[in-house]
Amino acid sequence: MYTLDEYLGFCCSRYDEASIEYKPYRQKDGALLAIGALCDKLKQTEPYKSELERMLVQHVFPEFNSPVGHLRAKVYKKTTKS
């Protein structure tokens, strides 16, 4: 069983290292889903609270330019959620 840190690190490192034609888009989708589901808790809990902006800039915002439509849609939905 993974901790949240291990899970997100695993997904993001595999995604970032892969060439565009071999990116594990489903794993990135899962990581975005986990971040979205836990967003309220992440905003209240250290060390996530202090790292949230860096995580968004490094791993979430770049997906606005993703060639995969469902990732662009998920990022838009997560960043515009009230």
Nearest partner of 55 among 74, 73, 39, 37, judged by Cα: 39
Whole-number pLDDT of residue 16: 83
Whole-number pLDDT of residue 82: 47
| Integer Cα distance of 25 and 58 in angstroms | 16
Whole-number pLDDT of residue 64: 92
Nearest partner of 66 among 75, 55, 78, judged by Cα: 75
For the chain, the distance separating the N- and C-terminal CA atoms, rounded to the nearest angstrom, is 31
- Which residues of the chain, if any, have pLDDT below 50? 82
